[in-house]
Structure 1
Amino acid sequence: MRAIVFTELGGPEVLHLADVPAPEPAAGQVRVRVEAAAVNGWDLKTRAARIPGVPLPEFPAVPGLEVAGVVDAVGDDLTGVRPGDRVVGFADTGGYAELALTSTFTLVPDGLDPTRAVTVPVSAEAAHRVLRVLGVTDGETLLVHGASGSVGELAVQLARRRGATVIGTASPANQDRVAALGATPTTYGPGLVERVRDLAPSGVDAVLDTAGAGVLPDSITLRGGTERIVTIADPAASDLGITFSSGARRDPDELAEDVTSLARGELTTTLGEVLRLDDAARAHALVESGRGGGKVVLAP
């Protein structure tokens, strides 16, 4: 099968198309003929440099954490799914390929395009995880940094479901987008503390940083300490005594609920550019530049 691989660490240019053996499903897995594979920040990190505490990938490595497509083979001990079903889930093998394996997945509702469905798994998992860590509840005020990003936009919507008031930081170009999600928008940069205090005179109860844009010191000032501040993007967290949340909790029931909500219009995600599989290097460059316009997706 065709897949995007890299055989050394480096920039987007190390990604190239190659023929690799097709994976075979083990017990509990399905093999998917990939219709859409999302490009995530983790793909870029593991391609670009060695990550402390994370072993180097086995070369040739196929990137890609989430896939949507049509089941073409089912492993043993698996019921409720059969060849021909369309599913979306977390890839057990690299998703930038014609075929991929997944063991945490859900059926894609009729009418939901796979390029839309594939925007959900990683971002929704991260949003649910950090809201649980923060313990956001009805009546509280949550500050979300990077509220227009893939994780931020879902965190805003899920926090609103919990009954929270949300203030979301984003670039000037994305203020309307944040407001449409149900948050009160404001911008980054000098004066952030004063702007947030004007919007929340009683203070903020919790802060989520999805942007990694150096906002943690201001967040500490707004909270009056480091409690109930979580980042998924700023490595300075440990030096500041702030929680850095990582390590996915892959829950198929939660994924099914979120994909169904997306299909019903109860949740929204932002789809950016959809590119061909052999445009993977361009896709990575787009994501690194911040000009992807939403979740960038490869469509084999």
Structure 2
Amino acid sequence: MRAAVCVQAGGPEVLRIREVPVPAVRAGWSLVRVKGAGLNRSELRTRQGHSPNVRFPRVLGIECVGVVAVSTDPALPAGTTVAAVMGEMGREFDGGYAEYALLPNALLMPVTTTLPWDVLAALPETYLTAQGALDALGIAPGDRGRLLIRGGTSSVGMAAASIAAGYGVETAATTRRQDKTDALTAAGVDHAILDTGGSLTDDVHAIWPDGPDHVLDLVGASTAADSLRLVRRGGTVCVAGSLSGWLIPDFEPIAMIPSGTRLTAFHSDDLKGGAGATLLRRIVQQVEAGLYRPNLDRVFGLDDIVAAHRHMENDQAAGKVVVLP
């Protein structure tokens, strides 16, 4: 089979298309013929060498969609359409950047859908993370709160905006590129904010003088402290992304978290396998009905994986980048 193998830590060019053996099926794992894989910035950082548990060479890809080719689970017979996310895919074992992936049965989420493969591949990690983060913030249908999304043109940011718009939540979202503000509006954002790299206090308070009730911070490490200052006293900040890295330097909780303000997080590993299957099926139905947008930015072939990573690394995407083997 063909696979995009990350041969060592480095730039996009360390991803090489190679012919490798189809993985041998073993107990508790099933072979999936990959039909699409969404790209994620965590794969970019793994490729750069920032995932300490990863040993190269490795087939990256923390998510994929496809069809069960060889099953060891009677509940998931061959021919079943499935999605899989996280669970150390592309880190401890080979992931979705290949024609086939051997995956633990516990990760496989069966889906019945008429969506094309590129659209389906844009949904699992993105929408499961967005929904989980909004749940962590306590946002529900009919909520009349105000939501700020930092990193709004990321795939998760645009998915969160789509869900929040459906809930009736007033939403503001940030982007660092003027040419992406229209994409935010199309995703359902009420207020697009151009982030020039400093504090957003003036821009946000011009919209909401008391600050937002909720902040979904997808930039993460470099902006979490500022988000805690922005949210209204007693509001909640959820860090659910790591566009700027994984560690908050010199974090002092008592000094940086205002009294009564809540800081939480969401990790999509919480919704892998059975825990996420029901939610993913509902998300797919909402996309099929036109209630949620797939926010698909661009589709690449497996042979173009280097260009796909460059596109992602250069912040050219507004939404989800997908690779089709």
- Structure 1 length as normaliser, TM-score? 0.87
Structure 1 residues 238 and 153: CA distance shift in structure 2, 3 A: farther
Asked whether the 8 Å contact 1:237–1:243 carries over to 2, the reply is no
Q: Secondary structure at the match of 2:77?
A: coil
Q: Secondary structure at the match of 2:58?
A: coil
Equivalent residue letter for 2:171: V
Equivalent residue, structure 1, for 2:251: 239
Structure 1 residues 86 and 56: CA distance shift in structure 2, 3 A: closer
Equivalent residue, structure 1, for 2:50: 50
Equivalent residue, structure 2, for 1:96: 97
Structure 1 residues 22 and 279: CA distance shift in structure 2, 3 A: same
Q: Secondary structure at the match of 1:296?
A: strand
Between the aligned partners of 2:249 and 2:284, the Cα distance in structure 1 is: 31
Equivalent residue, structure 2, for 1:123: 126
Equivalent residue letter for 1:74: S
Instruction: Kindly state the Cα deviation for residue 70 of structure 1 after the two structures are TM-superposed.
Output: 2.8
Q: Secondary structure at the match of 1:201?
A: coil
1:173 and 2:194 matched: no
Q: Write the deviation string for residues 209-238 of structure 1: whole angstroms up to 9, x where unpaired.
A: 113494444423322569621222243277
Instruction: Kindly state the Cα deviation for residue 205 of structure 1 after the two structures are TM-superposed.
Output: 0.8
Between the aligned partners of 2:283 and 2:24, the Cα distance in structure 1 is: 28
Between the aligned partners of 2:287 and 2:249, the Cα distance in structure 1 is: 32
Between the aligned partners of 1:108 and 1:275, the Cα distance in structure 2 is: 24
Equivalent residue letter for 2:202: E
Equivalent residue letter for 1:269: P
Asked whether the 8 Å contact 1:2–1:19 carries over to 2, the reply is yes
Structure 1 residues 201 and 176: CA distance shift in structure 2, 3 A: same
Q: Secondary structure at the match of 2:317?
A: coil
Structure 1 residues 25 and 155: CA distance shift in structure 2, 3 A: farther
1:188 and 2:195 matched: yes
Asked whether the 8 Å contact 1:125–1:248 carries over to 2, the reply is no
Instruction: Kindly state the Cα deviation for residue 291 of structure 1 after the two structures are TM-superposed.
Output: 1.4
Structure 1 unaligned segments of length 5 or more: list them: none
1:109 and 2:109 matched: no
Asked whether the 8 Å contact 2:212–2:231 carries over to 1, the reply is yes
Asked whether the 8 Å contact 1:69–1:87 carries over to 2, the reply is yes
Q: Secondary structure at the match of 1:239?
A: coil
Once the two structures are overlaid, the 10-residue window that deviates more, 251-260 or 177-186, is: 177-186
Equivalent residue, structure 1, for 2:259: none
Structure 1 residues 26 and 228: CA distance shift in structure 2, 3 A: farther
Asked whether the 8 Å contact 1:68–1:115 carries over to 2, the reply is no
Instruction: Kindly state the Cα deviation for residue 179 of structure 1 after the two structures are TM-superposed.
Output: 1.9
Equivalent residue letter for 1:101: L
Equivalent residue, structure 2, for 1:87: 82
Q: How does 1:184-263 map to 2 (within 5 A)?
A: 184=190, 185-189=192-196, 192-212=200-220, 214-223=222-231, 228-231=236-239, 232-233=241-242, 234=244, 235-236=247-248, 239=251, 241=253, 243=264, 245-246=266-267, 248-249=269-270, 250=272, 251-263=276-288
Q: Secondary structure at the match of 2:269?
A: coil
Structure 1 residues 50 and 203: CA distance shift in structure 2, 3 A: closer
Once the two structures are overlaid, the 10-residue window that deviates more, 138-147 or 243-252, is: 243-252
Asked whether the 8 Å contact 2:157–2:218 carries over to 1, the reply is yes
- Structure 2 length as normaliser, TM-score? 0.80
Q: Secondary structure at the match of 1:268?
A: coil
Instruction: Kindly state the Cα deviation for residue 27 of structure 1 after the two structures are TM-superposed.
Output: 5.2
2:320 to 292, 295, 300: 295
Equivalent residue, structure 2, for 1:20: 20
Q: Write the deviation string for residues 50-87 of structure 1: whole angstroms up to 9, x where unpaired.
A: 33xx4123x321101222223322213x32x4333433
Report the aligned-residue RMSD.
2.6
Once the two structures are overlaid, the 10-residue window that deviates more, 60-69 or 27-36, is: 27-36
Q: Write the deviation string for residues 150-182 of structure 1: whole angstroms up to 9, x where unpaired.
A: 000111222334442211112322222222222
Structure 1 residues 176 and 240: CA distance shift in structure 2, 3 A: farther
Once the two structures are overlaid, the 10-residue window that deviates more, 193-202 or 275-284, is: 193-202
Equivalent residue, structure 2, for 1:270: 295
Equivalent residue, structure 2, for 1:68: 65
Once the two structures are overlaid, the 10-residue window that deviates more, 197-206 or 40-49, is: 197-206
Structure 1 residues 50 and 196: CA distance shift in structure 2, 3 A: closer
